[in-house]
A and B are shown apart, each in its own frame.
Chain A
Amino acid sequence: MRIAVDKHLALLFGGVVGLLVIASLIGWILRSRVKSESGRATVTNLNARIRAWWVMSAIFAGTLVVGPFGSLVLFGFTSFMALREYITLTPTRRGDHRALFWSFFIFTPLQYWLIGVRWYGLFSILIPVYAFLFIPTRAALAGDTERFLERAAKIQWGLMICVYCLSHAPALLMLNIPGYAGQGAKLLLYLVLVDQMSDVLQYVWGKLAGRHKIAPTVSPNKTVEGFLGGVLTATALGMALWWVTPFTPLQAAAMSLVITLLGFFGGLTMSAIKRDRGIKDFGMMIEGHGGFLDRIDSLCFAAPIFFHVTRFFYTPPSPDFPLFRWFIAR
């Protein structure tokens, strides 16, 4: 086990602990101040969320310090649990059993193993190509044609969101960014921090200043004020943290804007699914937050885009890439 905490990482951890202490104090003060029935329920939920944040932050920081293996296990486990919640709420049939077994016990671990051995080529196509073709084939071999396309599509979608998309967060550890070697953990922490702070700030701004609903049919709790306030403050936070990334302050702001916007789209899309299924949360494993999938919905959308934008602009392109030749020619 290699324990390596550089100064930047230690500072970030310190910042997170500081934030949690402030949040806990605010929660503690609110508990004695708020008297109304509905206000009490909100404060109780808020305090449950803060407690869960302490636990999640501690686990995430612990796995980050252990090295890539720790992060892969944590994100792999999270993918597994998210897929579990997703499949539970998706009506599948007896004929899907083997395809589901493959999704949980072959494709999910394989996807994270590929990150561990830094096999980028297969990592990027395992689920969109191989699993995509395998799942309907396995279901067809099982011989049940009822709602066939719907069933296959739902399993494919679950694998894409819960496993493929999320796996791009720890995949940041395998990027070779010149001048930033061996510092992928900081980039992963940066992504998770900006993404999750965007969720938190949208929630806080929504509770404090929310007036106009932004998508009343999909998510009645999301407001225009919450969206704008959250996205802007989280982007500002991401910009202020530019020193842990390979980005300049302006680039960090642009990257944070990408993360926060995608995070918002993720939350909105997953809310639409929950609405369609007639549920409020995907699970109840994380007190105050719902399930795993409820907590990571924004990260599932932000991670792959952040990964690819970073990979495109900050790692040396392959020499046969036409744009690259064009750049060189100039």
Chain B
Amino acid sequence: MSKDTHLLAAALAQFARLASGVTTRWIDCQPEERQRIYFANHTSHLDALVVWSSLPGHVRRWVRPVAAADYWNKSWLRHYLACNVFHAALVERSENIETASGERVAHARMLIERLLEQMGDRYSLIIFPEGTRGSGENVAPFKSGMYHLCRERPHLELVPAYIENLNRVLPKGEVLLVPVLCSVTFGPPLQVRSGEGKNDFLARTREALCRLKPQ
């Protein structure tokens, strides 16, 4: 039941590789077809595309980026690109829901369930636990979604992917590309430890991501 990669997705991935001149490094980790969660720092609109395209083809077609529904549902084209071309898993960001905290919890639970459903027993995800794009210099504190997701599937491998320089190719609020060379560094897989608290887990995973920063 393999899912074919959309032709446009393949073309866009090739374009992203060319435009970002991306170098991919694997440190104590191999590109494998197993179910994983790739988590990366978020600095540019191109992040998901570049991480996705830096995976080998046979791995790539089982990997779905997680993207913000409020952004990707804004126009027909965006929706088509996200859902039909990249098979992205769209989620509502909780900041966009102005409700009481009880309802927030309910929303978060629904969101996790939705992601698990999208993963099935085969698909991997690319997530950006900072929640929003940063300046590219520092990695912001992680949102808790990743923790709850991993608690539900404690055997999933979490693979950190540090994206370097992509914010210089297409920074926040820019439409023109500058062809600075980028790199994506995949690090050793992590797992949630039994009994590990939310804050410890988020700090540990964030630390693992920051360690991959070149130099």
Nearest-neighbor residue (CB-CB) of B167 within chain A: A94
Residues of A within 8 A of B215 (CB): 278
* Contacts A92-B168, A94-B171, A97-B171; A283 near B176 (Cβ below 8 A): no
Is A104 interfacial (CB 8 A cutoff)? yes
Assess whether A88 is in contact with B165, with CB atoms less than 8 Å apart.
Answer: yes
Query: Would you call B178 and A100 a contact (CB within 8 A)?
Result: yes
Contact string against A for B residues 183-215, beta-carbon threshold 8 Å, 1 for contact and 0 otherwise: 000000000000000000000000000000001
Contacts of A283 in B (CB 8 A): 181
The A250-279 residues at the B interface (CB cut-off 8 A) are: 278
Whether A289 is near chain B, meaning CB under 8 Å from some CB there, is no
Partner of A84, one of B174, B176, B181: B181
Asked, given contacts A84-B21, A88-B165, A94-B171, whether A101 binds B178 with beta carbons under 8 Å apart, the answer is yes
Contact size class for A?
Answer: 10 to 19
Chain A residues in 8 Å Cβ range of B165:
88
Q: Is A211 an interface residue (CB 8 A)?
A: no
Nearest-Cβ distance from residue A284 to partner chain B, whole angstroms: 8
Determine if A97 and B181 form an interchain contact, defined as CB atoms under 8 angstroms apart.
Answer: no
Q: Is A98 an interface residue (CB 8 A)?
A: yes
Q: Is B56 an interface residue (CB 8 A)?
A: no
Which residues of chain B come closer than 8 Å to A104, judged between CB atoms? 178-179
Total A-B pairs, Cβ < 8 A: 30
Asked whether, in the complex, the Cβ of B179 is within 8 Å of the Cβ of A84, the reply is: yes
Inter-chain contact B176/A98, CB cutoff 8 Å: yes
User: Which A residues are CB-close (under 8 A) to B181?
Assistant: 84-85, 88, 283
Residue B180 is within 8 A (CB to CB) of chain A in the complex:
yes
The residue in chain B whose Cβ has the minimal distance to the Cβ of A83 is B179
Chain B residues near A80 (CB, 8 Å)?
179
B62 CB to nearest A CB, Å? 29
**A86-114 Cβ-contact flags toward B at 8 Å (1 or 0):** 01100010100110110010000000000
CA separation between A10 and B176, bound complex, in Å? 44
Binary contact track A196-220/B, C-beta < 8 Å → 1, others 0: 0000000000000000000000000
In the assembly, what is the distance between CA of A88 and CA of B183, in Å?
11
The answer to whether A101 touches B176, judged by C-beta atoms less than 8 angstroms apart, is yes
Closest to B170 in A: A97
For the complex, give the distance between the alpha carbons of A60 and B38 in Å. Answer: 42
Separation of A85 and B168 alpha carbons in the complex (Å):
13
Which residue from chain A places its CB closest to the CB of B176 in the assembled complex?
A: A101
Give CA–CA (A218, B179) in the complex, Å: 29
Within 8 Å CB of A284, what residues of B?
23
Residue of A nearest to B174 (CB): A97
Least CB separation from A80: chain B residue: B179
Closest to B177 in A: A101
Give the residues from 66 to 90 in chain A that come closer than 8 angstroms, CB to CB, to chain B.
Answer: 80, 84-85, 87-88
Closest residue of chain B to A101 (Cβ to Cβ) is B176
Decide: B179 and A97 in contact? CB cutoff 8 A: no
Instruction: Enumerate chain A residues within 8 angstroms of B174, measured Cβ to Cβ.
Output: 97
B residues 1-51 with Cβ under 8 Å of A? 21, 23
Is B180's CB under 8 angstroms from A84's CB? yes
**Inside 8 A of B21's CB, which chain A residues have their CB?**
84
A84 to B179, CA, bound (A): 6
A244 to chain B, nearest CB (A): 36
| Minimal beta-carbon separation of B201 from chain A (angstroms) | 32
B176 — which chain A residues lie within 8 A by C-beta? 97-98, 101
A269 to B21, CA, bound (A): 26
- Nearest to B164 among chain A residues (CB) is A88
Chain A residue nearest to B169 in the complex (CB): A97
> Once bound together, how far apart are the Cα atoms of A85 and B181, in whole Å?
7
Report the separation of the CA atoms of residues A104 and B176 in the bound assembly, to the nearest whole angstrom: 11
Shortest Cβ distance from residue A90 to the other chain B in the assembled complex, whole angstroms: 9
User: Shortest Cβ distance from A85 into chain B, in angstroms?
Assistant: 7
| CB-defined A-B contacts under 8 Å, sample of 10 | A80-B179, A84-B179, A87-B178, A87-B180, A88-B165, A92-B168, A94-B135, A100-B178, A100-B180, A104-B178
Seen from chain A, the residues whose Cβ lies within 8 Å of a Cβ on chain B are 80, 84-85, 87-88, 92, 94, 97-98, 100-101, 104, 278, 283-284
B: residues with CB less than 8 A from A are 21, 23, 135, 165, 168, 171, 174, 176-181, 215
Closest CB pairs A-B (n = 4): A88-B181, A100-B178, A101-B176, A88-B180
Given A97-B171, A97-B176, 8 other A-B residues pairs in contact with their CB atoms under 8 A: A84-B180, A84-B181, A85-B181, A87-B180, A97-B174, A100-B180, A104-B178, A283-B181
